[in-house]
Amino acid sequence: MLNHGIMMLHVLFGVLGILCAVALFMDVLNAGAKNYQRIKILSLTVAAFLVVSFLVGGYWYVTFYGAERDIIKAGAWPWAHNFFMEVKEHIFFAMLLLGLYLPIAVYKNTPLTSRKNKNLVLAICAMIILLGVFMEGAGGIISKGVTIGLRG
Amino acid sequence: MKMKKVSVKGKKLMKSATKMNKYALGFGLSLVVTNLLNAVILVVKEVSAPVMNAMKAALGHHWTTHAALLIFLFIILGAVFSTYEVAAKWDSRKMMYYIIGSVVISVAIVTVFFLPYLIA
């Protein structure tokens, strides 16, 4: 039960990070004096959710994933681990680092009304969103790999 | 004459608005380097058993060591790069292209490295 609870928390914080990145993307598109405070808060929120998702997911991966990995590798979808989990666990670092840089880009690279500064933040948000969507899809395939492995 | 002065001042203001803050530049460059190192570390640890074993021994799991190493490098390199006086030569557009490039290259290396397992 603890295993599944921690996994669900990892997914939850990851999804919240992606949703906040989408909200930030929209806010930066319409950046101005009125929403600058919200942009700053959202950039910190994205970073915080991604860090928490990383810590929770990392703990789960190191503590619980070994048993599930063996089930996947013995099943009909060994590539769910050999490709999707391996790629996911390493590409996640790119997403985490982008998330850590995001508040720096927002706080230190003002004004966001400048097109170049705005595009930098938009590009970071877009990459977090795209990588995040891949993370969610890969997570679903890995989970299905366990189900198929358990069927034998 | 007065018009010309305003124009020159306006240009200067526009230019300074697009120059990067030293921390945005320093940590941006650090992000680029760390992203590429992520892929390099992955390939090295996967092809070299001694490196993999050393990473497992360092913090109990190779992935934990990999993560700690990248975060440490991101912070240290960011702090070091922030002290360089090159911020005036960079703007946000250049940084954006470098960051996108590093992410694309890093993701491509990781994906291609594991692709044989998907095809097999």
Contacts of residue A22, Cβ cutoff 8 Å, sequence gap at least 6: A125, A129
| Position B15 pLDDT exceeds 90 | no
Average pLDDT over residues A28-44: 94
Question: What is the percent of chain A where pLDDT is above 70?
Answer: 100
Residue with tokens 């557009």: B93
In this prediction, residue B87 carries a pLDDT of 61
Task: In whole angstroms, give the CA distance from residue B106 to residue B96.
Answer: 15
Closest to A40 in 3D by CA, of A107, A111, A110, A116:
A107
B117 near A CB under 8 A:
yes
Using the beta-carbon criterion (under 8 Å), do B27 and A79 form an inter-chain contact? Answer: no
Q: Sort out which chain B residues have CB atoms less than 8 A from A123's CB and list them.
A: 96, 99-100
Sign of CA dihedral A45, A47, A51, A54: positive
| Position B11 pLDDT exceeds 70 | no
| Position B6 pLDDT exceeds 60 | no
Average pLDDT over residues B18-24: 82
pLDDT digit string, tens, across residues A111-149: 787 899 999 999 999 999 999 999 999 999 999 999 999
**pTM for the whole thing?**
0.90
Average pLDDT over residues B17-28: 83
| Position A16 pLDDT exceeds 50 | yes
Which of B17, B35, B115 comes nearest A97 by C-beta? B35
Nearest-5° angle of CA A132, CA B108, CA A108?
55
Partners of B50 in beta bridges: none
pLDDT digit string, tens, across residues B86-96: 666 788 999 99
- C-beta separation of B36 from B102 below 8 A: yes
In this prediction, residue B47 carries a pLDDT of 96
State ipTM: 0.94
Average pLDDT over residues A63-89: 95
